[in-house]
A and B are shown apart, each in its own frame.
Chain A
């Protein structure tokens, strides 16, 4: 349990909240609008936050509910995508690792909302299947199924079932992930 004042703790989760917003919306302007709404809502409803529970999960839930609610209001099935996700690379691909990472981002952007969200929550943010399911308002089995389907789709898009591709990506992944200059 954090000893921080909940409002101070909220600030520590903002980088992760923004990463979640960008990966969910794939649009920088929409992500920033969602962030502002979520921060405002969380701040003014801080009395509803239960100390000792997972604040990051609470914040992510507020943001995703805002996002889907505004999508429904606008009656939009397809989001406006401005490549905010794949544009986060500041340099042009200059070796295999960079190229593979770009491929990965482009493939990830093509996943359905619920699959992208499931992978980000479970695969990247480290939430348990139970927590991720609760955040998305679905059963744990549904969340597991979404993660599996998302992985299967990425496997197909990146042709990871091809042994040669996997050998190449293993080497490329090590080149990127194993770099001492990058966070693990």
Chain B
């Protein structure tokens, strides 16, 4: 009985983890907002400027 319950719990945990990975993977593929891309460009430009001044 306990073994049956353990097996069932394993299946439930597996189902949850597989779905979590799938959902997280979908979110990772969401388009990166322009604001973040722009921010990175600004930060890189600032770094280049600092390097040039040194």
User: Chain A interface (Cβ within 8 Å of chain B)?
Assistant: 7, 11, 14-16, 18-19, 22-23, 32, 35-36, 39-40, 43, 85, 88-89, 100-101, 104-105, 108, 119-120, 123-125, 151, 154-155, 160-161, 166, 169-170, 173, 176-177, 182-184
B6 part of interface (Cβ distance < 8 Å): no
A170 to B30, Cβ gap below 8 A?
A: no
| Distance of A101 Cα from B19 Cα, bound (Å) | 7
User: B20 in the interface, Cβ–Cβ < 8 Å?
Assistant: yes
Shortest CB–CB separation between residue B38 and chain A, in angstroms? 10
Residue from A22, A35, A176 in contact with B27 in the complex, judged by beta carbons closer than 8 Å: A22
Query: Would you call A120 and B16 a contact (CB within 8 A)?
Result: no
A23→B25 CA distance, assembly (Å): 11
* B25 shortest CB reach to chain A, Å: 5
Assess A18 versus B20: contact at CB under 8 Å? Given A160-B15, A170-B11.
no
User: Is B28 part of the binding interface, using a Cβ–Cβ cutoff of 8 Å?
Assistant: yes
Tell me, yes or no, whether B12 is within 8 Å of chain A by CB: yes
B30 contacts A124, C-beta separation under 8 Å: no
A14 touches which one: B24, B25, B32, B44 (CB < 8 A)?
Answer: B32
Q: Which residues of the partner chain B approach A184 to less than 8 Å between Cβ atoms?
A: 21
Chain B residue contacts of A7, Cβ below 8 A: 44, 47
Q: Which residues of A contact B15 (CB under 8 A)?
A: 160, 166, 169-170, 173
Query: Is there contact, CB below 8 Å, between B18 and A177?
Result: yes
Known: A19-B28, A88-B26. A39 touches B39 (CB 8 A): yes
Q: Which residues of B contact A177 (CB under 8 A)?
A: 18, 22
Complex Cα–Cα for A88 and B24 (A): 10
**Is residue B1 contacting chain A, with contact meaning CB distance below 8 A?**
no
Q: Which residues of B sit under 8 angstroms from A151, Cβ to Cβ?
A: 12-13, 16
Give bound CA distance, A11 to B32, whole Å: 11
Q: At the interface, yes or no: B52 with Cβ under 8 Å from chain A?
A: no
| Nearest CB of chain A from residue B35's CB, rounded to whole Å | 6
Contact assessment for A123 and B36 in the assembled complex, using a CB-CB cutoff below 8 Å = no
